[in-house]
């Protein structure tokens, strides 16, 4: 795989993770615990979908096979998606929703912060714009983890359960493969060790402040999402998300 192909693959990973998590959050429309939370969730979802489009547009240009950002989003099968396994996990109760969001936001923030310094100007520009939005995402999700973790006995128990449930999907956030190592060496992607250190440090600090038990760093982890190996949940997400574009491929918005 040459550098351009590796970059295209990396762009799909960024875009797919943002899109799938955005779709998961959209499932909560009309189901949030409060009106303010519904507005916040939908705003975060819109941010993520917008970011995904930017990554897809760049990936489509590099691919140069006539596919658009919409084609990449809606006309690929599950095994062609490169999203993190974490983002395709069900919403569950609100503790699960916010624990998933926090783990992802912490990774997303440090990833974008590193990409702003990328040697690829297009990559750095997209990251800089997204970083402003993700800074808010991280502040919001970390505050919810603290609020629920250090809240009532019930909220604490649910947040602890959520952390333990989702921890097994966090290994992909800080582990890299040859694609990411190649790009990191070229100054295009984050340094593996620095990203892992930053993510782990922030997560430990927030969980401690939330009076939640830290999870073992050497715990067994699910992996494979970045290589197209997914849990059963992704197929259901795509079936709902892709129905209209696949059923009516020539449909246009009037």
pTM, whole model, 2 decimals?
0.96
* pLDDT interval class at 237 (50, 70, 90): very high
From the options 1.10.620.20, 1.20.1050.140, 1.20.1260.10, 3.30.590.10, give the CATH code of 3-247. 1.20.1260.10
Q: Where are the domains of the chain?
A: 3-247
Determine the 3-state secondary structure of 249 from DSSP.
coil
Better-scored residue on pLDDT, 227 or 251: 227
Report CA 9 to chain centroid distance, whole Å.
Answer: 15
pLDDT at 253 over 60: no
* pLDDT interval class at 210 (50, 70, 90): very high
In this predicted structure, what is the pLDDT of residue 33?
86
Count CA atoms within 13 Å of residue 30 on its CB side.
1
58: tokens are 């760049």
Angstrom distance (rounded) from CA 215 to CA 194? 20
36: tokens are 């303010």
Average pLDDT, the chain: 96
Angstrom distance (rounded) from CA 213 to CA 227? 31
Q: What percent of the chain has pLDDT over 90?
A: 92
In this predicted structure, what is the pLDDT of residue 175?
93
* pLDDT interval class at 249 (50, 70, 90): confident
């Amino acid at each position: 795989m040459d550098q351009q192909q590796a970059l295209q693959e990396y762009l799909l990973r960024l875009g797919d993770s943002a899109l799938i998590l955005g779709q998961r959050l959209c499932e909560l429309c009309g189901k949030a615990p409060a009106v303010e939370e519904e507005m916040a969730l939908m705003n975060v979802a819109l941010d993520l979908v917008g970011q995904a489009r930017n990554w897809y547009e760049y990936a489509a240009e590099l691919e140069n096979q006539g596919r658009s950002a919409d084609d990449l989003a809606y006309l690929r099968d599950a095994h062609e998606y490169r999203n993190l396994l974490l983002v395709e996990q069900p919403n569950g109760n609100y503790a699960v929703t916010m624990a998933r969001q926090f783990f992802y936001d912490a990774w997303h923030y440090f990833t974008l912060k590193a990409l702003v310094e990328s040697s690829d100007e297009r990559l750095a520009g997209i990251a800089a714009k997204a970083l402003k939005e993700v800074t808010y995402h991280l502040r919001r999700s970390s505050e919810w983890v603290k609020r629920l973790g250090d809240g009532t006995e019930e909220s604490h128990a649910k947040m602890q359960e959520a952390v333990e449930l989702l921890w097994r999907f966090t290994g992909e956030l800080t582990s890299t493969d040859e694609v990411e190592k190649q790009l990191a060496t070229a100054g295009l992607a984050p340094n593996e060790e620095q990203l892992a250190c930053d993510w782990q440090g922030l997560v430990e600090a927030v969980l401690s402040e939330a009076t939640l038990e830290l999870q073992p760093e050497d715990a067994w982890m699910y992996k494979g999402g970045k290589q197209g190996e997914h849990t059963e949940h992704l197929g259901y997400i795509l079936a709902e998300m892709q129905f209209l574009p696949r059923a009516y491929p020539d449909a246009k918005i009037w």
